[in-house]
Structure 1
Amino acid sequence: MTIHKEGYKSILISAIIFAIINLASFRFFSPSMAWLTWLIFILTLGLVFFIISFFRVPNRKLTQGSNLVIAPADGKVVVIEEVYDEEYFKDKRLQVSIFMSPLNVHQNRTPVAGEVVYNQYHKGKFLVAWHPKSSTENERHSVVIRYAKGEVLVKQIAGALAKRIINYMSVGQKVDQAAEMGFIKFGSRVDMLLPLGTKVNVQLNEVVKNGVTVIATV
């Protein structure tokens, strides 16, 4: 396991806050309130470990295949339905959505190998990530990858806690399957829009892993 580069600053800040709070606690609370200083120490240490865990990047054997669509995110499948895409395709697509809780790995990966043909950031709201309108009204970053058998649109969507979407893609870029696409900080969601008729290999509420789980076969 490694720590994602996006986490260095957050981990450093949390460590500094941890040190300041506990130095003040041990200095100003009397010996008769030692239990309180230890409680503060345990709670703040737990917070530091949570921040470190949030930015973890586990070592995984990545799944690859030209006929496979791989999970772009860790989390739970919360939507599998036909929708009309107004942003790029202007027609009906099959939407598969993955909800990421704050406990999930938040690195995002490309579901297919191909060329980035569309990359667009959208300002928006911060509805809870499982809200039906979060796909179209929340802050989000959309990327379309053209591959041998068509195109897939991937949306990184901010949630009520996620306030920063990081995307490393650019139009014209050639990407490998399961390559790093970006990172979303603190609880969010990723949508994929696939061609109608795509065979989906997962079910609602199934837990998936980025770069590993086969979402669909094309």
Structure 2
Amino acid sequence: MSAFFLSLVVIFVAELGDKSQLMAMTFATRFRTWSVLIGITIATAVVHLASVVLGAALGAALPTGPISILAGLAFFGFAAWTLRGDELSEGERSKVDRAGGAAILAVGVAFFLAELGDKTMLATVTLAAENGGVAGLIGVWAGSTIGMVVADALAIVVGRVLGRRLPERVIRIGATASFALFGVLLLVEGIRAV
């Protein structure tokens, strides 16, 4: 359960202010909310399952101490990435605008492609490398998937209700601080294990 809750919180925070949230808000203006959420959930579940498998392979191949140190450093990288911010490019915005017909398929494919190599995918790989064992890996997969879907659902609801963006600066600083905190905790854990 600890892997589940840690993954849920980390990925939820990672998703705040991410371009995926902007995509979710944009899709929600064009399609029904449930279609957008179903597409996001399917794409996220597939990407994060692949991330967990990759993280498990790395976790089995490397000793725990160095993995924790690398994970801590990776989280500092995620903090810097988050502080820099994410925006939809014109190409990504036009893909959202052109998507029609099968809303779930359009949303799912767009999210799948957007998440490949994104910080939430890399954070999931890192968490899976840290939390070995079947129960830990299932916890990471379920927690990371639910964390991302909840964050994107929040963006959809807030975007629809308020009709404007979340205050990006505040979200970005909070998410950056959270990543830095997780980075410090992982570094301390890794140094103790070495």
Q: Which has the higher helix share?
A: 2
Question: Scaled by the length of structure 2, what TM-score is found?
Answer: 0.25
Higher-Rg structure is 1
| Structure showing greater relative contact order (alpha-carbon pairs closer than 8 Å, 6 or more residues apart) | 2
Structure with more of its chain in strand, by fraction? 1
Q: TM-score, normalised by structure 1?
A: 0.23
